[in-house]
């Protein structure tokens, strides 16, 4: 089992405007379905990760529940930035093979542990 962090705004959601304002979020159906699959079919550990403040945690948890996204944890306050550099990043918006990227990273993790 792999720990997979999934960003909330503009990943689990479509463009939700100001991420520091509650309300108006709509699910990104493709990503929501993929998150469900990761949890139910692959038994992955899912962390919903957001730059939003902890005061939004209950709202985000409610939306995830309403959308049927099961998760193991919620992490708020990762710090706001316009760009993230990460050795384990998968960009779902610019890479048409992003799901394969997640599988490759997960397989690499499993082979090391």
User: Is the model's pTM score more than 0.85?
Assistant: no
CA distance 26 to 45: 23
The residue with greater pLDDT, 70 or 98, is: 70
pLDDT digit string, tens, across residues 31-58: 999 999 999 999 999 999 998 999 999 9
Residue 71, pLDDT > 90, answer yes
The pLDDT of 23-33, averaged and rounded, is 94
Could you tell me the domains of the chain? 3-87 (3.40.50.1000)
In 3D, which of 95, 96, 76, 89 has the Cα closest to residue 9?
A: 76
How many CB atoms are located within 10 Å of the residue 63 CB? 20
Mean pLDDT across the chain, nearest whole number?
Answer: 87
């Amino acid at each position: 089992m792999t720990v997979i962090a999934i960003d909330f705004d503009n990943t689990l959601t479509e463009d939700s405007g100001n991420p520091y304002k509650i309300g108006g979020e709509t699910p990104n159906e493709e990503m929501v379905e993929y998150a469900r699959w990761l949890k139910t079919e692959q038994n992955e550990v899912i962390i919903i990760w957001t730059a939003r403040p902890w005061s939004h945690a209950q709202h985000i948890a409610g939306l995830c529940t309403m959308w049927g996204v099961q998760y193991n944890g919620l992490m708020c306050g990762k710090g706001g930035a316009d760009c993230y550099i990460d050795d384990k990043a998968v960009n779902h918006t610019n890479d048409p093979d992003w799901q394969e990227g997640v599988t490759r990273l997960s397989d690499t993790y499993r082979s090391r542990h």
